[in-house]
Amino acid sequence: MGTDIVVPNLGESIIEATVATWHKKVGDRVEVGEPLVELETDKVNLEVGAEQAGILAEIRHPEGEDVKVGDVLGRLDPAAAQPGAAQRSASETAAKLVEEKLVSENLEAPKPGEHPVSPQPSVRNYQPASEERMTPVARRFAQDQGINPAEEIPGSGPGGRVTRVDIENFIGQKAAPQPPGTPRLEPKPQQPALTITSVPATNGDRLEERVKMTRRRRTIAQRLVEAQHSSAMLTTFNDVDMGAVMEIRQRRKQAFNDKYGVSLGIVSFFVKASILALRSFPQVNAEIQGDELVFKHYYDIGVAIGVEEGLVVPVLRDVDQMTFADIERSIQGFVQKAKDNTLTLEDLRGGTFTITNGGVFGSLLSTPILNSPQVAILGLHRIEDRPIVREGQVVIRPMMYLALSYDHRIIDGREAIQFLVQIKEAIENPETMLLDS
């Protein structure tokens, strides 16, 4: 009797996922713990492994389909793992795949006692790469690259199906030097998750491209809209002189790096300043649940990191107990994990307050959106030299605009302004943070 492959519990508040990649095909041998399928959630990608050895007998949800917790993704045949049965099942599966391959190559199956003849390149079966002949991954890749499904592309998959590798090879052949006058197919650059692009055409028509949003992008869009609809969001602004922080970083950066093995950044100063301000204004570190206010006496600070598919917000936990070096190491670790797509649900769970730094992308001023159910978010921006007045004199100082978006249902304007002023004072007098740490 087969064993179902079930969508596991995906973590806090996540009930749906999208089947991103099947690592095995029907008929493939699977060992215990070996990854079978990768699921994409709004936060991270998760791999579902085999709970026992066997043969992948069925795939019920192909790549690109949405699934919920508890749905059956496919079925394993554990009987194939038993002695004798394993060899018979593997032999039958292999024979079936060979037969499908021979049929796809227009060759005859070998007679008993004969060895199969390897197909020669001259008899390769070139057929129009219709979407039905493409694997889901190949179909999406072909769309991204602007490949016409009617192109004659050889398929190396079971039954002659076109895989992503086949399309990559096809593009490579098209890109190779060709005789003069031969049209050359240029690979189309990767597009964002949702793209509507106008492309000039020789016939004067305007073209549009429609691409399905990824689950992560859909969820981000949904939650951003919900944050605006479910909160009374306002934003207050201020500016801060970054001279003292920049002087400390310049003077201590080499010694800090030598001692702790990590650079001294700007965000860690704002994390420390936020802790001081949150202690003074506990409602900024709170949450609304129904008709109750939940005041949190711990400080888990989310730090927004930009990745290809959108923003992720890993959380620094109990950050009031961390040193500058601890904060910097944690942030760098999150950045690397975001690049490698290895962030876990635990990295992203919870959070009581968020800091986002649009300055790394060149933003001068912006209005950050709340990261629900949190009630406040601090936005940092780029540092630029500006003339300001100091003791009656106009001087040039490195200035940054700060933005605090907050939920007016729990935080009054006066408190929001004072909270931001306290952060400004801490940054302009960083010794207060160092003495308090």
Two domains, one topology: 3-104 and 127-176: no
Give the number of other Cβ atoms within 10 Å of residue 209's Cβ.
Answer: 15
Domain residue ranges of the chain, discontinuous segments joined by +: 3-104, 127-176, 216-436
User: DSSP 3-state assignment of 164?
Assistant: helix
CA distance 341 to 294: 33
Percent of the chain scored above 70 by pLDDT?
73
The DSSP bridge partners found for residue 305 are: 312
User: For 267-286, how does the pLDDT look when each residue is reduced to its tens digit (9 = 90+)?
Assistant: 999 999 999 999 999 999 99
Give the number of other Cβ atoms within 10 Å of residue 315's Cβ.
Answer: 20
pLDDT at 225: 85
User: DSSP 3-state assignment of 40?
Assistant: strand
Give the number of other Cβ atoms within 10 Å of residue 380's Cβ.
Answer: 23
Whether 412 sits among the annotated catalytic residues: the reply is: yes
Judge: domain 216-436, CATH 3.30.559.10.
Answer: yes
Cα angle value 212/216/217 (rounded, 5°): 55
Task: Give CA 85 to chain center in angstroms.
Answer: 42
pLDDT at 285: 97
User: For 150-181, how does the pLDDT look when each residue is reduced to its tens digit (9 = 90+)?
Assistant: 566 777 655 566 776 677 777 776 655 544 54
Single out the residue of 216, 221, 213, 190 nearest to residue 312, CA to CA: 216
The DSSP bridge partners found for residue 274 are: none
Whether 408 sits among the annotated catalytic residues: the reply is: yes
User: For 55-64, how does the pLDDT look when each residue is reduced to its tens digit (9 = 90+)?
Assistant: 988 898 988 8
- Give the range among 89-93, 129-133, 421-425 with minimum mean pLDDT: 89-93
Q: In sequence order, what are the residues at sequence separation of 6 or more whose Cβ sits closer than 8 angstroms to the Cβ of residue 237? A: 365, 401, 402, 403, 404, 420
Single out the residue of 35, 31, 72, 73 nearest to residue 52, CA to CA: 31
Half-sphere exposure of 301 (CA within 13 A, CB side): 24
Amino acid of residue 402: L
Q: Is 425 exposed, middle or buried (0-12, 13-18, 19+ CB in 10 A)?
A: middle
Class of domain 3-104: mainly beta
Catalytic, out of 66, 318, 412, 436: 412
Catalytic, out of 66, 318, 408, 436: 408
CA distance 283 to 113: 81
Cβ 224 vs Cβ 367: under 8 Å: no
CA distance 332 to 305: 10
Preceding omega of 8 cis (within 30 degrees of 0): no
Cβ 219 vs Cβ 42: under 8 Å: yes
Judge: domain 127-176, CATH 3.30.70.360.
Answer: no
CA distance 134 to 162: 5
pLDDT at 150: 57
User: For 15-37, how does the pLDDT look when each residue is reduced to its tens digit (9 = 90+)?
Assistant: 788 888 898 888 888 888 888 88
